[in-house]
Structure 1
């Protein structure tokens, strides 16, 4: 299996990456350093995570050439609008310490002001045309958001980063992405978000189906879930701050799930979303200023 994914426009991206969502700034540099040392070459962050500066520090200190690392970050809804999003790029690139961002993404659709969403995406198109970013994309866009965006813009998003794990696989979103040639990238790819439910529901990590598949391969449930993503053509960006887990999550290229095992994992979908409802995103409830530095 190829370890890379080709994005629309001919930009190549590692299929397996390292995420830093909810990673505190004071441990981000160490975590990203461990990931790069392990072999990860795709790093995902966001303006709203508050740790772009630390990601950039780890990249600079890694000893790797900048062109060896695929770096993606996201614009928060508070910076939507054409000029505002152009400025958001300047803020992110300054914090990251880079001139070019490999993949620049809108973090959410803003259904309550979709004109701002469209203007923000048009700014991404401008940045791509100017060579400031290599590829552009979106995150947490549902099929109707994609349709509305494509009707008013020129460049099809290269990627849509959405919640995908065995308990919430969003097949309709994945189909819409595929129909448009958009790569699906999974956040919470091993279902970490299912560990925080307070209703007594089982977590993906303790699911007996996943556990049995893991045992059959001599792997962990997390490794099985990541392999599931990769074999189905998705990108996945697991996160951890523990070096042993960072290493474990990368050791997924030496085994193969059978078609029956893939089907069994696909059959675990509950339809229960763990993250915010995309239609409920508003500036009033989710807006917050992104600092200049």
Structure 2
């Protein structure tokens, strides 16, 4: 596996630009998938309380025989855990499940502006506590829009290190990315290949054929050159390995523009609207 570049976050820490995501990997399969990814060479794992597989991530790291310090681990606060005391307890549970004294990055998973009286600022201030204690090396958010980020900017002293948002060629989410760039908030892209929907696009397949790369490699390379942090998910070791083959080629300016031109706007979005999404798991 080629050396993965790192992105320097606004708190001075560094995150590998390519990682391995475990969204929708069943808990019973997570340890094996994580171990395989680490054996291939990944050193960045993205999980969440909502996924129910944090324990498998911790087990996979141990099964791979790696020291905890060798792997960058992200988790996220579940939507049901926004109340400050609940957030504190759930964070303790996250560390226990991972079998770790810290996480490298901890995020608020969704802003939920129509829940909890619209008060995600109090939740953010609890994450500041985690950072101050060193139990979260970096803190950030996920699915926050510029208006949500402005609430944090006006009410706290900490700028989120990252904002993990839906980004792919059909929905580049450029307005949110531009806000992040202006305020030194790194963009992490979830659904970077649009859950596979862009892989059959004629523009993508033509580029892949011309370059001798897979469609997924082409799309992931587009993200890398834009500066996005990506963590594609697969339980297939072959695809895990293919997804690391991003650093021995480059897309020229016209090719980048052709891929960016696939933007469908809001109709291209796969996930819910962060302004109205209010789902809380039972």
Shorter chain as denominator, the TM-score bin is: over 0.9
- Cα distance in 1 for partners of 2:18, 2:150 equals 27
Unaligned runs of 5+ residues in structure 2 are none
SS in 2 for 1:16: coil
Q: Which residue does the alignment assign to 1:198?
A: none
Q: Does 1:206 align with 2:200?
A: yes
Alignment of 1:1-293 (within 5 A): 3-112=5-114, 113=116, 115-192=118-195, 195=196, 203-271=197-265, 272-282=268-278, 286-289=279-282
- Cα distance in 2 for partners of 1:115, 1:168 equals 26
- Cα distance in 2 for partners of 1:64, 1:97 equals 13
Unaligned runs of 5+ residues in structure 1 are 196-202
1:116 Cα offset (Å): 3.6
Give RMSD over aligned pairs.
1.3
Change (3 A) 1:161 1:278: same
SS in 2 for 1:278: coil
1:82 Cα offset (Å): 2.0
1:115 Cα offset (Å): 4.9
CA contact 2:55–2:99 (8 Å) conserved in 1: yes
1:81 Cα offset (Å): 2.2
- Cα distance in 2 for partners of 1:2, 1:101 equals 20
CA contact 2:18–2:231 (8 Å) conserved in 1: yes
- Cα distance in 2 for partners of 1:117, 1:266 equals 32
CA contact 1:106–1:137 (8 Å) conserved in 2: yes
- Cα distance in 2 for partners of 1:104, 1:126 equals 12
- Cα distance in 1 for partners of 2:24, 2:153 equals 31
Q: Give the TM-score taking structure 2 as reference length.
A: 0.95
Equivalent residue pairs, number:
277
- Cα distance in 1 for partners of 2:10, 2:118 equals 25
- Cα distance in 1 for partners of 2:117, 2:182 equals 22
- Cα distance in 2 for partners of 1:72, 1:117 equals 20
CA contact 2:113–2:119 (8 Å) conserved in 1: no
Q: Give the TM-score taking structure 1 as reference length.
A: 0.92
1:2 Cα offset (Å): 6.7
